[in-house]
C-alpha cells in the first residue's frame, strides 16, 4: 500500500505504546497524592481486594468439586436411614413374638406334666406288674416367673406316688431302676413293700414316691400335630 503525505510540512507523530498512558497516569497519581500513608492504605485495599477475590474463586472451585461427594453422601444417608428403620421394625416384631411365646409358655407350661409322667411310668413298668393308683404326694405350687418380663415360667417340681402290685419281687426292683433312669423322673424313693393276698394268691404291694422334673432339651422329641396320609 502507498501512503501519500498531503501535508509535507508536518511530521507524522509516532504511535505511542498503550502502556505509556497507564504509566503516566500512575506517575500523575503519585504526584497528586502527597501523603505516603494514604498511598499505602490504597495499595493495601487493592491487595486485600485481590486476595479476597482469589479466595472466593478458590472456594468456588472447591465447592464445585465437592458437590458430587455431597450428593453421594446424601444418598448413602437415605439408604442407611431406611435400613435402620426397617431394622427397628423387625426388632419390634421380634419382641412382640417373644412376648406372645412367653405368654403361651406360661399358660401351657405345666399342661403336659401328667402325660409325660404316664408315658415314663408306662415305659418303666415291667411285666407282671401293674399300678393300682397314681397321684400327687403334695399339692403342687403354681409356676412363678422370676419377673414379669420372663419368657418362660419356672417349672415347679411335682411330687407323686405310685401304688402297685407285682408277682415278682425282682420286677419291683427293676421298676425302681427304670424309673431312676428316666430323664423326667428324679428322687425315686421306695416307701413300702409288703406281701398281701389278692384273689387267693400272694402278691407284693408297693408304694413309690418320686418327683417329676423338666428334662433337658436333648431328651425332648417333637412330632407334627397332623400328617398327610397317602
Q: What would the DSSP string read from start to end of 34-87?
A: --HHHHHHHHHHHHHHHHHHHHHHHHHHHHHHHHHHHHHHHHHHHHHHHHHHHH
Q: What is the pLDDT of residue 206?
A: 93
Dump pLDDT digits (tens) for 47-90.
888 888 888 888 888 888 888 888 888 888 888 999 999 999 99
- The gap from C-alpha 85 to its chain's centroid, in whole angstroms, comes to 13
* CA-CA-CA-CA torsion sign (141, 145, 146, 151): positive
Q: What is the pLDDT of residue 165?
A: 93
Tell me the CA end-to-end span of the chain in Å, nearest whole number. Answer: 116
Dump pLDDT digits (tens) for 159-192.
899 999 999 889 999 999 999 988 888 889 999 9
Across 107-134, average pLDDT: 83
Q: What is the pLDDT of residue 65?
A: 82
Across 96-121, average pLDDT: 80
d(CA 6, CA 11) in angstroms, rounded, equals 11
Q: CA-based diameter of the chain, in Å?
A: 175
Across 107-124, average pLDDT: 79
Q: What is the pLDDT of residue 109?
A: 62
| Ramachandran region, residue 222 (left: φ > 0; alpha: ψ -120 to 50; beta: rest) | beta
Amino acid at each position: 500500500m502507498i501512503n501519500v503525505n498531503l501535508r509535507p510540512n508536518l511530521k507524522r507523530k509516532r504511535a505511542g505504546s498503550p502502556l505509556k498512558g497507564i504509566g503516566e497516569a500512575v506517575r500523575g497519581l503519585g504526584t497528586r497524592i502527597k501523603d505516603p500513608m494514604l498511598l499505602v492504605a490504597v495499595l493495601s485495599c487493592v491487595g486485600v481486594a485481590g486476595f479476597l477475590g482469589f479466595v472466593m474463586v478458590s472456594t468456588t472451585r472447591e465447592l464445585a468439586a465437592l458437590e458430587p461427594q455431597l450428593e453421594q453422601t446424601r444418598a448413602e444417608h437415605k439408604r442407611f436411614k431406611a435400613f435402620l428403620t426397617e431394622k427397628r421394625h423387625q426388632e419390634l416384631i421380634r419382641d412382640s413374638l417373644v412376648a406372645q411365646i412367653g405368654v403361651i409358655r406360661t399358660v401351657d407350661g405345666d399342661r403336659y406334666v401328667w402325660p409325660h409322667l404316664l408315658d415314663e411310668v408306662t415305659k418303666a413298668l415291667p411285666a407282671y406288674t401293674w399300678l393300682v393308683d397314681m397321684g400327687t404326694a403334695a399339692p403342687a405350687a403354681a409356676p412363678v416367673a422370676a419377673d414379669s418380663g420372663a419368657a418362660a415360667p419356672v417349672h415347679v417340681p411335682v411330687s407323686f406316688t405310685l401304688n402297685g402290685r407285682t408277682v415278682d419281687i425282682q420286677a419291683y426292683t427293676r421298676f425302681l431302676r427304670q424309673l431312676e433312669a428316666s430323664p423326667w423322673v428324679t428322687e425315686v424313693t421306695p416307701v413300702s413293700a409288703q406281701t398281701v393276698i389278692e384273689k387267693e394268691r400272694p402278691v407284693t404291694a408297693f408304694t413309690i414316691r418320686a418327683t417329676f422334673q423338666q428334662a433337658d432339651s436333648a431328651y425332648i422329641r417333637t412330632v407334627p400335630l397332623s400328617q398327610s396320609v397317602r
